[in-house]
Each structure stands twice: as C-alpha cells, then as structure tokens.
Amino acid sequence: MTNPRISPALDEQARAILTGNDRGGYTVPTDGLYPYQWNWDSAFAAWGFATFDLDRAWTELDTLFSAQWADGMVPHIIFHKPDPGYFPGPDVWGTGQSPETSGISQPPVAATMARLIFEMDAEAGRDRLAALYPRMLAWHRWWRDQRCGSGVVAITHPWESGRDNCPDWDIGMANVDGSNVGEYTRRDTGHVDASMRPGKADYDRYIAMVQFGRDCGWDQSEIVANGPFLMADPGITFILLRAHDDLAALGRALGHDVSEVEGWAADLRAAVPSIWNAETRGFDARDLKTGRFSGRIGSAAFLAYLANVESPELDARMTELWDAVRYGFPSADPASEEFDPRRYWRGPSWPVVNALMAIGLTDRGRHAAAERLRRETAELIEAHGFFEYFDPIDGTPCGGDAFTWTAAIWLTWAG
Ligand code: 9YW
C-alpha cells in the first residue's frame, strides 16, 4: 500500500465502528466483551475521532477525566452504566467512587494523544485543552507520587500495564496466592474463544489482587508497600516518559510554567538504565519485591523509541524479534518457550502497540522500520477487519471484532 488513503471503504467502516461503539460521550472498546470505558482505549478513540469530529475527540478525553479520583488517579475502567456481561464489575472492585470505577490505572497515553489532537487544530482545541491540562497534570503527579518510588514506573496489577498476561509478569504472578478467591463466573470466555484469553490460574490471581485493594480501601500506599504484586513496567515507563514530554509541550503552548513536569521527566529518564537487562539484552520488567528481572523481552521494550531512548543493541533485538514473525510486532519473544501466537499478550501482534512503536520510530527518523510496521498492520486489517489482535505468524484475527482502538489507529496511522 503506497497511497495512504487507498481504502475509503475501510475508512468508512472504521468511522462506523467508532460511532457505533459510542455510548454517549465515551466509547466502549468493543460491544459485548468490554462494555465500559477503558482508559487507554479511550485516549486512542479520541485520536481516531479527531480525524472526523474534533469536538467529539475532546469530549472523549473530558469524559475519561471526569472519573478522576481526588488523589489524581485516572482509573482503568469507568463503569458508567451497569452491565452484567463483564466480570469483575463495580461490586467486585468496591471503590465507592462516583461514577463507579476500578481501583488501578492504565498506560497514560492521554497527554500524547491530546497533543496529537491539539496539533491538528490548535485554535479550536485551546479552550478544551486548557480545561483538561490541570487534570492531566494531576494524573502525571499521581504516577510520580504513587508509582515511581523506585525510579521507573511500578504497577500493582498486571491489568494496570494494559498487557494483562504477558510473560513479563510471570515471576511476580508466581507469588500471588489465587487459591482463596472463592467462586466467580468469568464473562470474557463467553464472548470470545477461551484459548485466546488468559487462563483460570491467571484470573484467580487477578481477582486476589483486586480483593487485596478492596480490603484496604484502595489505599495506594498500602497496596504498593504490602500488596501481593509490584513490578517495574518498561511499557508504562516509556509511555509516561513520552507523555511527560508531551504534557510539557502542551503546557508551554498554554503559557504555563512546566518546570515541574520537566523535572519528573528528567528523573524518570535517569532511572531508565535500571531496567536494562544485560543478559537478555533488552529493557525488562523487574519484580520490585526481589529486584529480579523477568528475563522476558516483548513489544513493551521497544516503546523505548517513543521515549527518545535508543541504542544499537536495542535495534538489533528489535530485528531479531520482528524477523521471527510476519505481521507486525510480537507482544512476546517468538524465541521464548512462553510464546503463544494467539493467547492475548503472550505473542499476538496488537495494532495499537504497533502504532505507538511506529510513532517512536518515526520521531527517531527510522522511517523504513516505521513504514514496515504500518504496512504489516494495514495488511492484517485489510485482510481480516478491525480485530483486537492478530496471530503475528499467519495473521489469524483474534479476540473481539469491530474494535475501537484498531479502527482509531487505522484512521490516524495504518490506513
Ligand atoms: C480485560 C480493553 C482492554 C485493554 C487492555 C486489554 C484488555 C481487559 O482489554 O483488558 O478484561 O482483560 O488487555 O489493554 O485496555 O480493550
């Protein structure tokens, strides 16, 4: 594909997915499987909406931040309307927020998306941005205060990373006791093929972590200090580093003093070497309870480019992982024994991560690599439609169909 707008029919479908998944001011990731507002999905949705409805794009971000907690956290799910089709729902989280929400956060891509949207039409976006800016600032401060105690970004639940069951978390998950969570009924496996979803042992542990949070009243300091899971996440580290820079640029455009944000970015950048694993030759997750590296390299390691972090070794590793598959970037290392090309974050190619990687590669001047990523992602969507994720070896579409963020990245980047 050389002409970037060669498929008006697919553009039309992508717009129809965004508007079809619109529930009034917010967008669900896909009908049925994910019936609420998810944090980073919404930020991508906003970017997608911006290609045909700027006002709606800003509204998506406003709605997301309307659920911000008093301490600045923007939760990973907002349960605007009850829906029995998803587990764990608001009663399980028990956060007592209004609107009801989960008790953890998700990758902070909002400032990066807000900057992309703002730059499409700065004049039209100025007032919307001015209203949003202090909320984004408070959220970034929350990351700094609650999650950056060890330098890089820590997560307290694999769901916080947005890459639920990727092998990065295996060593941390091994310490979580999921044997006492009681009976529950999963809903995800009723919507999509169970072999493409996390297994039951994973789910038991996910629920045990939610129960810990609920039992301590979602006291974030207690969860970090004594919760069952605490791992350094290369993915959010790079995403937040990039987002700090984007937030600072937005602040400058509004005439604010951004030295505080610049300071957070400098501190985070200085901590990045602590997640370089010389053995696996890559940026690697770390169990912060033991200091141990996970020993697993996946797509998140290469979000480094997004944060203006690069090295010849990183380039070499990127090529190794990428050349082992055919379609986009694998979420886990194809050479590892955990690699599972259709099981969620244990191998599949995720269009949305490919898009983030490509933004970083483009900014670093790696145009050939960025274009390869775009082309391979576009091929998947052209052949199969707007699925949640794909088998990176044979392109089999996986997970949910008519997916919001896949449609969004088609309109903004892949198509
Ligand atoms: C779940 C909505 C979310 C994404 C996450 C993805 C998945 C939800 O779906 O988590 O129930 O497992 O892992 O990144 O935001 O698309």
- Cite the DSSP H helix spans in 254-350: 259-271, 312-323
Q: Give the pair of three-digit tokens for residue 213.
A: 């949070």
Dist CA 239 CA 111 (whole Å): 10
Which segments within 252-343 are labelled E, that is strand?
A: 276-277, 282-283, 286-287
Whether residue 144 lies inside any domain: the answer is: yes
Whether residue 2 lies inside any domain: the answer is: no
Whether residue 279 lies inside any domain: the answer is: yes
Torsion of CA 64, 66, 67, 71, to 10 degrees: 110
Query: Binning pLDDT at 50, 70 and 90, where does residue 74 land?
Result: very high
- Residue 101 CA to ligand 1 centre (angstroms): 15
pLDDT tops 60 at residue 186: yes
Q: Which atom of ligand 1 is nearest to the CA of 30?
A: 16
| pLDDT tens digits, 110-130 | 999 999 999 999 999 999 999
pLDDT tops 60 at residue 154: yes
Query: Binning pLDDT at 50, 70 and 90, where does residue 68 land?
Result: very high
pLDDT tops 60 at residue 3: no
Interface predicted TM-score (ipTM) of this complex, two decimals: 0.98
- Cite the DSSP H helix spans in 285-350: 312-323
Whether residue 254 lies inside any domain: the answer is: yes
pLDDT (average), residues 223-243: 98
- Provide the CB-side half-sphere exposure for 34 (13 A, CA): 23
Report the residue count for the chain: 415
pLDDT tops 70 at residue 4: no
- Provide the CB-side half-sphere exposure for 369 (13 A, CA): 21
- Identified catalytic residue from 246, 388, 391, 401: 388
| pLDDT tens digits, 344-359 | 999 999 999 999 999 9
Q: Tell me the best of 17, 26, 34 to mutate to test the pocket of ligand 1, counting ligand atoms within 8 Å of each CB and taking the most.
A: 34
How many Cβ atoms are within 10 Å of 209's Cβ, its own excluded? 24
Query: Binning pLDDT at 50, 70 and 90, where does residue 197 land?
Result: confident
Q: Tell me the best of 28, 41, 352 to mutate to test the pocket of ligand 1, counting ligand atoms within 8 Å of each CB and taking the most.
A: 41
Q: How far is CA 330 from CA 245, 326, 342, 346, in A?
A: 27, 9, 10, 8
What pLDDT was estimated at residue 7? 79
Strand-strand pairing, 282-283 and 276-277:
antiparallel
What pLDDT was estimated at residue 103? 98
| pLDDT tens digits, 254-295 | 999 999 999 999 999 999 999 999 999 999 999 999 999 999
The pLDDT > 90 percentage for the chain reads 94
What pLDDT was estimated at residue 2? 43
pLDDT tops 80 at residue 202: yes
- Residue 331 CA to ligand 1 centre (angstroms): 14
119 is catalytic: no
388 is catalytic: yes
What pLDDT was estimated at residue 388? 97
What pLDDT was estimated at residue 316? 97
Whether residue 24 lies inside any domain: the answer is: yes
- Residue 312 CA to ligand 1 centre (angstroms): 32
Whether residue 1 lies inside any domain: the answer is: no
Closest CA to 246 of 408, 363, 353: 363
**CA-based Rg of the chain, rounded to a whole angstrom?**
20
pLDDT (average), residues 58-85: 97
| pTM greater than 0.90 (yes/no) | yes
CATH value at residue 102: 1.50.10.10
- Residue 192 CA to ligand 1 centre (angstroms): 13
Q: Which domain holds residue 261?
A: 8-414
What pLDDT was estimated at residue 5? 60
Dist CA 23 CA 60 (whole Å): 10
- Identified catalytic residue from 164, 168, 170, 287: 164
The single-letter DSSP state of residue 52 is: T
Query: Binning pLDDT at 50, 70 and 90, where does residue 8 land?
Result: confident
Pocket of ligand 1 (CB under 6 A): 29, 34, 38, 40-41, 162, 164, 188
How many domains does the chain contain in total?
A: 1
The single-letter DSSP state of residue 349 is: B
Residue whose Cα lies nearest atom 4 of ligand 1: it is 162
